[in-house]
Amino acid sequence: MRRWPIVLAATLLSFADARTQTPSRTALDVFFIDVEGGQATLFATPAGESMLVDAGWAGFEGRDAGRIEAAAKQAGVSRLDYLLVTHYHADHVGGVPEIARRLPVRTFVDHGATVEQGERPAALFNAYVDATASGKRLQVKPGDTLPLSGVDVRVVSSGGDLLNRPLPGAGAPNPLCRDFKPLEEDKTENARSVGVVLTYGNFRMIDIGDLTWNKEHDLVCPNNLLGNVDLYLTTHHGLDISGSPAVVHALRPRVAIMNNGAKKGGTRSAWQTVRDSPGLLDFWQLHFAVDAGADHNTAEPLIANLDETTGYGIKVSVQRDGSFTVTNARNGHAKTYRPRS
């Protein structure tokens, strides 16, 4: 806690320099905000609309809400058209009440009631429900779309249910399914995560929250209902109960971003699965994963935070032709990727 003034200063500067001083008017801007192993991903559209997926943790003197607010300011976002909560775990929904006090939210999006029992799950869920009183609340199911101007946001998982028909251009048999080995059934909120495939022009990105091993499998086996993506936000922060080769390699991402913390996510096996994905060009990380060792972390220029004292993010600016630029706010390292050929 004593380091907070330093962390706050880093947060306010994390997206604020010559590369990101003014909001893009032709690009879809995506801010992967460091919330120390949770999720907070902000989308700012050329039409001036916005969507935040999850809001990190509560507490820590408003650390995560402050980082989200700083990214929103940099994006020119003064309100959230949508706040999508993937599921009701503290690292995803905990920060919702605080960010809703800081930024007006028009519509809260979720999968319905929590399935977890006990005092702590109830407190998290009830705090979220109370926060939704300031706007509308929308419960989504697979196949639904969110009307974000110029951007197709397609729900592929929600409340334990999954898409049952292929997205446009998808549906091919997946030969990787034959080597898949299921894990024990997951009865937690993770398996009920709201997952989306987002399309902007020729660009496709996937974010399926913390959806776990068996549920992910059913989206791509026996047929790949999702198709290929340009950008893959690693499922479940790079933990090894998500992200099987049958899933990740079927998606064939060109770029991956891992929203891990220094000591959460980024497991060696999950990292290696992404790294080995056919056609992968680069693998960016929000944190150096301490327990994984140097051989299971990406190159230093592609890591936003090398320790736990900073709060730098990663920004992606997407053009309608499918090209996109990824920028590391810590060091200014940026790389542009051409449209998929």
Distance CA 257, CA 205 (A): 11
Q: What's the confidence (pLDDT) of residue 90?
A: 98
Domains of the chain: 4-329 (3.60.15.10)
Q: What's the confidence (pLDDT) of residue 111?
A: 99
Distance CA 122, CA 125 (A): 5
Q: What's the confidence (pLDDT) of residue 7?
A: 41
Are residues 261 and 32 in contact, defined by beta-carbon separation less than 8 angstroms?
Answer: no
Q: What's the confidence (pLDDT) of residue 14?
A: 55
Q: What's the confidence (pLDDT) of residue 17?
A: 47
Task: Walk along the chain (341 residues) in steps of 10 and give the mean pLDDT of each run.
Answer: 38 47 73 98 97 98 97 97 99 98 98 97 98 98 96 98 98 98 97 99 98 98 98 97 98 99 97 98 98 96 96 98 98 97 82
Q: What's the confidence (pLDDT) of residue 341?
A: 82
Q: Is the pTM of this model over 0.85?
A: yes
Residue 129 contacts by C-beta under 8 Å, 6 or more apart in sequence?
none
Are residues 37 and 49 in contact, defined by beta-carbon separation less than 8 angstroms?
Answer: no
What is the secondary structure of 29-88 as a DSSP string?
A: EEEE---SSS--EEEE-TTS-EEEE----S-GGGHHHHHHHHHHHHHT-SSEEEEE----
Distance CA 336, CA 341 (A): 15
In this structure, how many other beta carbons lie within 10 angstroms of the beta carbon of residue 16? 15
Q: What's the confidence (pLDDT) of residue 26?
A: 87
Are residues 245 and 274 in contact, defined by beta-carbon separation less than 8 angstroms?
Answer: no
Tokens (6 digits) for 331: 């060091």
